[in-house]
Structure 1
Amino acid sequence: MKLLVILLGLLVALVLVVSLTERFGKPMDAQKQSRLSKVAMVLVFVLLIAQVILYWVRSGG
Protein backbone atom coordinates (compact mmCIF):
# COMPACT_ATOMS: atom_id res chain seq x y z
CA MET A 1 0.00 0.00 0.00
CA LYS A 2 2.83 2.40 0.84
CA LEU A 3 4.41 1.67 -2.52
CA LEU A 4 1.24 2.68 -4.35
CA VAL A 5 1.06 5.95 -2.40
CA ILE A 6 4.67 6.71 -3.27
CA LEU A 7 4.11 5.88 -6.94
CA LEU A 8 0.98 8.02 -7.04
CA GLY A 9 2.87 10.94 -5.49
CA LEU A 10 5.66 10.58 -8.04
CA LEU A 11 3.15 10.45 -10.88
CA VAL A 12 1.41 13.61 -9.68
CA ALA A 13 4.76 15.39 -9.33
CA LEU A 14 5.80 14.30 -12.81
CA VAL A 15 2.56 15.50 -14.39
CA LEU A 16 2.86 18.82 -12.57
CA VAL A 17 6.48 19.38 -13.62
CA VAL A 18 5.81 18.44 -17.25
CA SER A 19 2.77 20.69 -17.51
CA LEU A 20 4.57 23.65 -15.91
CA THR A 21 7.68 23.30 -18.07
CA GLU A 22 5.58 23.05 -21.22
CA ARG A 23 3.64 26.16 -20.27
CA PHE A 24 6.41 28.39 -18.90
CA GLY A 25 9.59 26.92 -20.37
CA LYS A 26 11.41 28.81 -23.09
CA PRO A 27 13.47 27.12 -25.81
CA MET A 28 17.25 27.15 -25.54
CA ASP A 29 19.61 28.03 -28.32
CA ALA A 30 22.07 25.39 -29.51
CA GLN A 31 25.08 26.98 -27.80
CA LYS A 32 23.47 27.07 -24.35
CA GLN A 33 22.15 23.53 -24.76
CA SER A 34 25.62 22.30 -25.71
CA ARG A 35 27.17 24.02 -22.69
CA LEU A 36 24.60 22.55 -20.30
CA SER A 37 25.11 19.12 -21.84
CA LYS A 38 28.84 19.30 -21.16
CA VAL A 39 28.25 20.39 -17.56
CA ALA A 40 25.75 17.57 -17.04
CA MET A 41 28.19 14.97 -18.35
CA VAL A 42 30.91 16.20 -15.97
CA LEU A 43 28.48 16.11 -13.02
CA VAL A 44 27.35 12.58 -13.88
CA PHE A 45 30.98 11.45 -14.06
CA VAL A 46 31.82 13.07 -10.71
CA LEU A 47 28.76 11.48 -9.05
CA LEU A 48 29.67 8.09 -10.48
CA ILE A 49 33.21 8.32 -9.12
CA ALA A 50 31.88 9.48 -5.74
CA GLN A 51 29.52 6.49 -5.55
CA VAL A 52 32.34 4.09 -6.42
CA ILE A 53 34.51 5.61 -3.68
CA LEU A 54 31.67 5.43 -1.14
CA TYR A 55 30.99 1.80 -2.05
CA TRP A 56 34.68 0.99 -1.73
CA VAL A 57 35.01 2.75 1.66
CA ARG A 58 31.83 1.21 3.13
CA SER A 59 32.70 -2.32 2.02
CA GLY A 60 36.07 -2.12 3.74
CA GLY A 61 38.30 -1.82 0.70
Structure 2
Amino acid sequence: MGITKDIFQLIYKRYKNALEILENNKELNRINIVVGVRAYLDSYNDYQNPFLEELNKAENLLKEIL
Protein backbone atom coordinates (compact mmCIF):
# COMPACT_ATOMS: atom_id res chain seq x y z
CA MET A 1 0.00 0.00 0.00
CA GLY A 2 2.89 2.38 0.64
CA ILE A 3 4.07 2.40 -2.97
CA THR A 4 0.64 3.29 -4.33
CA LYS A 5 0.27 6.08 -1.78
CA ASP A 6 3.68 7.42 -2.78
CA ILE A 7 2.70 7.38 -6.47
CA PHE A 8 -0.54 9.22 -5.76
CA GLN A 9 1.37 11.82 -3.75
CA LEU A 10 3.85 12.23 -6.62
CA ILE A 11 1.03 12.76 -9.12
CA TYR A 12 -0.61 15.26 -6.77
CA LYS A 13 2.66 17.13 -6.24
CA ARG A 14 3.28 17.39 -10.00
CA TYR A 15 -0.22 18.70 -10.69
CA LYS A 16 -0.03 21.16 -7.81
CA ASN A 17 3.27 22.43 -9.21
CA ALA A 18 1.71 22.67 -12.69
CA LEU A 19 -1.12 24.76 -11.29
CA GLU A 20 1.36 27.09 -9.59
CA ILE A 21 3.25 27.51 -12.86
CA LEU A 22 0.04 28.33 -14.73
CA GLU A 23 -1.23 30.74 -12.06
CA ASN A 24 2.06 32.62 -11.93
CA ASN A 25 2.61 32.73 -15.71
CA LYS A 26 5.88 30.89 -15.40
CA GLU A 27 7.52 28.89 -18.16
CA LEU A 28 5.11 26.20 -19.34
CA ASN A 29 7.95 23.86 -20.26
CA ARG A 30 8.58 23.42 -16.53
CA ILE A 31 5.29 21.53 -16.16
CA ASN A 32 6.02 17.87 -15.51
CA ILE A 33 2.80 15.85 -15.53
CA VAL A 34 3.75 13.36 -18.22
CA VAL A 35 3.61 9.66 -17.27
CA GLY A 36 0.97 10.33 -14.62
CA VAL A 37 -1.39 7.95 -16.40
CA ARG A 38 1.24 5.25 -16.55
CA ALA A 39 2.22 5.73 -12.90
CA TYR A 40 -1.41 5.56 -11.83
CA LEU A 41 -2.08 2.37 -13.79
CA ASP A 42 1.11 0.72 -12.56
CA SER A 43 0.06 1.39 -8.99
CA TYR A 44 -3.71 1.06 -8.98
CA ASN A 45 -4.59 -1.04 -12.05
CA ASP A 46 -8.01 0.65 -12.15
CA TYR A 47 -8.74 1.29 -15.81
CA GLN A 48 -12.35 2.35 -15.15
CA ASN A 49 -11.58 5.20 -12.75
CA PRO A 50 -12.74 8.60 -14.13
CA PHE A 51 -9.62 10.13 -12.55
CA LEU A 52 -7.53 8.25 -15.09
CA GLU A 53 -9.44 9.84 -17.97
CA GLU A 54 -8.81 13.30 -16.52
CA LEU A 55 -5.09 12.59 -16.16
CA ASN A 56 -5.01 11.54 -19.80
CA LYS A 57 -6.85 14.69 -20.91
CA ALA A 58 -4.40 16.88 -19.01
CA GLU A 59 -1.36 15.14 -20.51
CA ASN A 60 -2.79 15.48 -24.02
CA LEU A 61 -3.63 19.16 -23.52
CA LEU A 62 -0.11 19.85 -22.31
CA LYS A 63 1.35 18.09 -25.36
CA GLU A 64 -0.83 20.27 -27.61
CA ILE A 65 0.22 23.46 -25.85
CA LEU A 66 3.91 22.66 -25.94
TM-score, reference length from structure 2: 0.38
Larger RCO: 1 or 2 (CA < 8 Å, sep 6+)? 2
Higher Cα radius of gyration: 1
TM-score, reference length from structure 1: 0.41
Select the structure that is richer in helix. Answer: 1
